[in-house]
């Protein structure tokens, strides 16, 4: 951590009006990074162990998928209400609650006797992860001065990228020496460490103390659940009537949710922030970008294995450059975002990502490993270069006391974008190859991903040319 001072500070101390003192920032970010890395890693690590989990718990593969889906659905449903809690009681308490719940749920995941108990524990893990993720924007605002906000966001992006990239490797290493239970048990010491450090090093932050609106939370949960189910239904080509009813239900609950927010002084879903053009454009750009990212992460393994004939292990290796390059570039682009116009950085990142996806789509029939690696790294660089500046624009455009609401919308744009991207891949495979992954279907999907990236670049370019970090 480049921000950590040589001499250990006694504690975070009172935050200044504009972030923590230089010596305390590194320790605050170290504390938060433990929880962030733990939650991101666990969001992906279970995928590798699904066959082992299904075999030991005598579950069919279709049912075992809920070990992953339960976590993701819990995050999607809870992140907006929990973001409201961030503004009400302060990010520090929500983060501590999230780490405690995630750690306790990890104990439950490591000791299940049935698939149902494991799924239930994963739901609580998802709620804990939603607490951690919903505090991200507030952590940055209370830790870093406004002039260095991009640096903190870039560092957070690096933690997310590297944790996601390490997921398959960490899972394989653990499974080579222990049972799948240890995939979850390993979280316990790290959770306790972050919890113990949080009281000392995280900046204190009060809340607005406005009332939590339970009806808004219920409407949000219904709308998000039905929307995600309808998106999945499109991807798996479920009955048109069922998908239409789910989508219609999502719209109805969503409209009721938005109408209710208009009558709240401080809305749970921060729709008031959309009055700020830079915030609206940043959210729209983020949605398109994560559609492309979700599409790429799903289609590339099929492309490498079924299309190009690589082994499953080699496909995992070939995916790593995307995440590693993204993590490295996120660190640098965050620093650049504190100095240069967001429009320039975001548009450049999306242009690079679209070129990377086009290059992957145009791979020769028998490419070398190097030909794949540099193309994947190129696409990852573009994604990483875009992320920190765009997130900085979202976070900085919101009042400090509304950081929770801004962070909730940022997370929702990511989750919905990825869900839509995955469904696009499924539809393309079904339409072109009757449900089978082929090299033609993978290439068409990558072309769609490049298209989403170009749309994101166009949205980025619509920002004011003169807009610079404040």
Question: What is the spatial distance between Cα 10 and Cα 421, in angstroms, rounded to a whole number?
Answer: 46
pLDDT of residue 446: 92
Is 90 exceeded by the pLDDT of residue 121?
A: yes
Instruction: For residue 262, give the H/E element and its range.
Output: none
> Cβ distance 350 to 386 under 8 Å?
yes
pLDDT of residue 381: 94
pLDDT of residue 120: 92
Provide mean pLDDT across the span 68-92: 87
Contact partners, residue 29, CB within 8 Å, separation at least 6: 1, 3, 139, 143, 152, 155, 156
Is 80 exceeded by the pLDDT of residue 47?
A: no
Burial class (CB in 10 A: 0-12, 13-18, 19+), 461: middle
- pLDDT tens for residues 15-24? 445 778 888 8
- pLDDT tens for residues 255-288? 998 899 888 887 888 788 888 888 889 999 999 9
DSSP 362: T
- pLDDT tens for residues 85-101? 888 888 899 999 999 99
DSSP string, 38-68: HHHHHHHHHHHHHHHHHHHTT--HHHHTHHH
With bands split at pLDDT 50, 70 and 90, how would you rate the model's confidence at 454? very high
- pTM for this entry: 0.80
Helix pair 403-433, 91-110: axis angle to 10 deg = 40
How many residues appear in the chain? 470
Q: How far is CA 243 from CA 206, 226, 249, 272, 421, in A?
A: 43, 9, 10, 30, 17
How many beta carbons lie within 10 A of that of residue 244, not counting itself?
12
Contact partners, residue 425, CB within 8 Å, separation at least 6: 235, 295, 298, 299, 445
- pLDDT tens for residues 302-359? 788 778 888 767 877 888 889 889 989 998 998 898 888 888 899 999 999 999 999 9
Question: What is the spatial distance between Cα 377 and Cα 40, in angstroms, rounded to a whole number?
Answer: 21
Cα-trace Rg, the chain = 21
With bands split at pLDDT 50, 70 and 90, how would you rate the model's confidence at 407? confident
Q: Which of 89, 188, 201 is nearest to 134 (CA)?
A: 89
Q: Which of 280, 304, 306, 235 is nearest to 393 (CA)?
A: 280
- pLDDT tens for residues 157-188? 889 888 887 777 787 778 788 888 888 999 99
Percentage of the chain lying above the pLDDT 70 cut: 90
């Amino acid at each position: 951590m480049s921000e950590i001072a040589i001499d250990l500070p006694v504690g975070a101390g009172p935050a200044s009006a504009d972030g923590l003192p230089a010596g305390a920032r590194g320790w605050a970010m170290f504390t938060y990074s433990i929880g962030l890395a733990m939650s991101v890693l666990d969001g992906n690590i279970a995928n590798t162990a699904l066959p082992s989990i299904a075999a030991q718990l005598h579950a069919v593969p279709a049912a075992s998928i809920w070990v992953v889906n339960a976590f993701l659905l819990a995050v999607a449903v809870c992140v907006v209400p929990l973001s409201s809690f961030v503004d009400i009681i302060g990010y520090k308490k929500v983060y501590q609650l999230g780490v405690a719940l995630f750690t306790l749920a990890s104990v439950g995941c490591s000791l299940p006797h049935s698939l149902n108990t494991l799924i239930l524990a994963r739901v609580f893990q998802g709620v804990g992860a939603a607490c951690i993720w919903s505090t991200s924007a507030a952590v940055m605002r209370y830790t870093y001065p406004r002039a260095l906000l991009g640096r903190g966001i870039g560092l957070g992006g690096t933690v997310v990228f590297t944790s996601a990239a390490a997921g398959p490797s960490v899972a394989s290493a653990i499974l080579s020496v222990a049972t799948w239970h240890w995939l979850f048990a390993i979280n316990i010491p790290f959770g306790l460490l972050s919890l113990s450090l949080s009281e000392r090093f995280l900046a204190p932050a009060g809340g607005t103390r406005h009332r939590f609106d339970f009806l808004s939370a219920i409407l949000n949960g219904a709308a998000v659940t039905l929307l995600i189910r309808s998106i999945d239904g499109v991807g798996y080509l479920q009955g048109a009537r069922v998908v239409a009813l789910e989508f219609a239900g999502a719209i109805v609950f969503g409209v009721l949710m938005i109408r209710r927010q208009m009558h709240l002084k401080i809305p749970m879903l921060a729709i008031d922030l959309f009055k700020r053009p830079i915030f609206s454009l940043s959210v729209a750009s983020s949605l398109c970008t994560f559609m492309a990212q979700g599409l790429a992460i799903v289609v590339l393994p099929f492309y490498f294995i079924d299309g190009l004939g690589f082994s499953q292990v080699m496909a995992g290796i070939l995916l790593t450059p995307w995440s590693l390059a993204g993590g490295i570039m996120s660190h640098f682009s965050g620093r650049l975002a504190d100095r240069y116009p967001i429009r320039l950085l975001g548009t450049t990142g999306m242009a690079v990502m679209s070129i990377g996806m086009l290059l992957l789509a145009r791979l020769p029939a028998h490419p070398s490993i190097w030909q794949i690696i540099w193309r994947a790294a190129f696409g990852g660089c573009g994604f990483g270069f875009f992320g920190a500046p765009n997130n900085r624009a979202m976070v900085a455009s919101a009042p400090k006391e509304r950081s929770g609401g801004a962070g909730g919308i940022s997370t929702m744009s990511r989750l919905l974008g990825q869900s839509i991207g995955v469904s696009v891949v499924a539809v393309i495979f079904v339409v072109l190859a009757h449900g089978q992954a082929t090299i033609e279907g993978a290439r068409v999907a990558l072309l769609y991903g490049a298209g989403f990236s170009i749309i994101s670049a166009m949205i980025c370019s619509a920002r004011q040319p003169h807009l610079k970090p404040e």
